[in-house]
Amino acid sequence: MLASSGGAEGGGGGTGDGGALRLFFSFVPDEARGPLAEVGARLALCAGARRVPPENLHMTLAFVGEVPSAQLPAVLQLGRSVRGLCCSIEFDAYEYWPKPEVVVAAARVIPAPLEALWRDAHAELARLELAAKPKRLRPHVTLAHGVSQEPVLPAERAREALLMGLRLAEGVHADRFAARTCMQLDRAIDAGIMEAAVEAGYLQRTPTHLIATAEGRRRLDALLPRLLL
């Protein structure tokens, strides 16, 4: 998808001075828009922060920048000519970037076909002398702009929920954990560490709960940093 921005990534179409267009190539994560929008809505943001509307959520592949209107046909042709293999992108982390003042959903694993497509797109843009290649690919979807203070992200909520829940005899209820943190319990913890802790008698896992044994509660401060992803 080739889109134009009026100054902020994901904004409406617009033109710069002299009829120039501010362009970027992006993917539209249709299946992920609902879950991403839900997570964005649950973030505790500071005053003045702006959540990205669900219809504007996207992952930028290449930021082109200001392009004279006369060069638009060449950019469109570039978009039609660059092709990549099909792949899945998993946005499995949430990050605060203080310099651009944004909160993003990020992909910690970059599929090889996506990186190849990113390289090819920037090679073609460089051939047209349109965009400099960034140092590295950082797949992400921006959830909020104008975030001047670091919010409480799901990972920190997960840590707090586990720390509090595992100190209780009933343990951590998986559904309540997901409702509070916007993360599935099994996606927030290291499966290998959990299995080792269960075998050692520090944890118990049921279909609905993760429970620390009496011995596990005594070792919780040491166990929790290893247990969390």
- Name the strands in the sheet holding 172-173, side by side, starting at the edge strand that comes first in the sequence: 172-173, 209-212, 203-205
How big, in percent rounded to 5, are the helix, strand and coil portions of the chain?
40, 20, 35
Say what the pLDDT of residue 2 is. 63
What does the domain layout of the chain look like in residue ranges?
2-145, 154-227
Say what the pLDDT of residue 133 is. 73
Q: How far apart are the first and last CA of the chain?
A: 33
Say what the pLDDT of residue 188 is. 83
d(CA 80, CA 64): 15
Beta bridge partners of 152: 44
Enter the CATH code of domain 2-145: 3.90.1140.10
Structure tokens at 187: 């996606």
Enter the CATH code of domain 154-227: 1.10.10
Structure tokens at 64: 């082109």
Q: What are phi and psi of 65, to 5 degrees?
A: 95, -160
Say what the pLDDT of residue 7 is. 36
What does each of the 229 residues of the chain score in pLDDT, given as a tens digit?
666 664 333 333 444 455 788 899 998 877 888 888 888 887 778 888 999 999 999 999 999 988 998 899 999 999 899 988 889 998 888 889 999 999 999 998 999 999 999 999 999 999 888 877 778 899 999 999 999 988 877 677 788 888 888 988 899 999 888 877 767 888 788 899 999 999 999 999 999 999 999 999 998 888 888 888 7
Task: Enter the pTM of the model.
Answer: 0.66
